[in-house]
Amino acid sequence: MKFALCNEVLQPLAFDAQCRLARELGYDGLEVAPFTLAADPTQLTDAEIAGIRRTAEDNGLEIFGLHWLLVAPAGLSIVSADAALRLRTQEVMVRLVEICAALGGRYLVHGSPKQRSVPEGSTRAEAWARARECLSAAAAAAARCGVTYCLEPLSRRETDLFNTVEEAARMVEEIGQPALRTMIDCSAAGQTESEPVHLLMERWLPTGLIGHVQANDPNRRGPGQGDLDFGPILRVLREQEAHFPGIVAVEPFDYVPDGPGCAARSIRYLREVEELG
């Protein structure tokens, strides 16, 4: 099992400093939020992308994937009634797929709650259909580039569309593109799902629809900083190795005592749990 750190946790450190610290703390790689790389990450040149990848590799890290995709550029939406805006959003999604592949990444995590919540004046069915259009374009790009695009279920406090694994899986199955999957975010699952996170994983991993796992507590802090026991979670991931890509990304939102401190506590806790088996 490999552990990634979501790199925004280490902001405002420069990217090379993020890499050095992540490696020193014991992470195997980074899961990168594109908005941390540039004001408009779609404008990164091939040379700049190659430089980012080289910086990670020089520090002994892989860039495993991308997440928090639609923060920048501003104003994007996969559910807007504005067809031109949705097309622009699709273009960004496709470009991020290409960037992920160029960075050596394996997956993208589509969370971005504000950019998918049902807009005023639209029905849920209309928002669903518009989202399907955008996600289909991203899935096709992911297939071309050899990466996986994961639709992330998020809690109802963040968005009103795709809140459970079942709901996200229904969209994945509607689109029917093997490069499109869903994933499990432990914090969101702990807030929204009707069963414990490890049992949720036990049920869904064998379906082949789960492309990634993010580790965090329902209190939005790092793993080990709340009540969620990651022992059963890591046990299920080991037992379901044939159905699990093998990467767990640490993604806290509330950094206690601060970003570096939270990152350090999280990986120490996960390594200890892993050792205990």
pLDDT tens for each residue of 189-246? 999 999 999 999 999 999 999 999 999 999 999 999 999 999 999 999 999 999 999 9
0.95 exceeded by pTM: yes
Tens digit of each residue's pLDDT (9 = 90 or more) over 209-221: 999 999 999 999 9
Is the pLDDT assigned to residue 73 strictly greater than 90? yes
Question: How far does Cα 168 stand from its chain's mean position?
Answer: 14
Q: What is the C-alpha R_g of the chain?
A: 18
In the chain, the percentage of residues whose pLDDT exceeds 90 is 99
Asked if residue 16 has pLDDT above 90, the reply is yes
Smallest CA-to-CA distance from 172 within 156, 193, 148, 188 is with 148
The token duo for 100 is 């992920």
Determine the average pLDDT of the residues in 178-185: 98
Tell me what pLDDT residue 13 has: 97
| pLDDT score recorded for residue 135 | 98
What is residue 14's predicted lDDT score, i.e. its pLDDT? 97
d(CA 190, CA 33): 23
Pick the CATH number of 2-276 from 3.40.718.10, 3.20.20.150, 3.40.50.300, 3.90.45.10: 3.20.20.150
User: What pLDDT digit, counting tens, does each position of 45-66 carry?
Assistant: 999 999 999 999 999 999 999 9
- The mean pLDDT value of the chain amounts to 97
Q: Are 25 and 275 in contact (CB under 8 A)?
A: no
For the chain, which residues make up each domain, given as ranges?
2-276
3-state secondary structure the chain: CEEEEEHHHHCCCCHHHHHHHHHHHCCCEEEECHHHCCCCHHHCCHHHHHHHHHHHHHCCCEEEEEECCCCCCCCCCCCCCCHHHHHHHHHHHHHHHHHHHHCCCCEEEECCHHHCCCCCCCCHHHHHHHHHHHHHHHHHHHHHHCCEEEECCCCCCCCCCCCCHHHHHHHHHHHCCCCEEEEEEHHHHHHHCCCCHHHHHHHHHHHCCEEEEEECCCCCCCCCCCCCCHHHHHHHHHHCHHHCCCEEEECCCCCCCCHHHHHHHHHHHHHHHHHHC
- In this prediction, residue 277 has a pLDDT band, given cuts at 50, 70 and 90, of confident
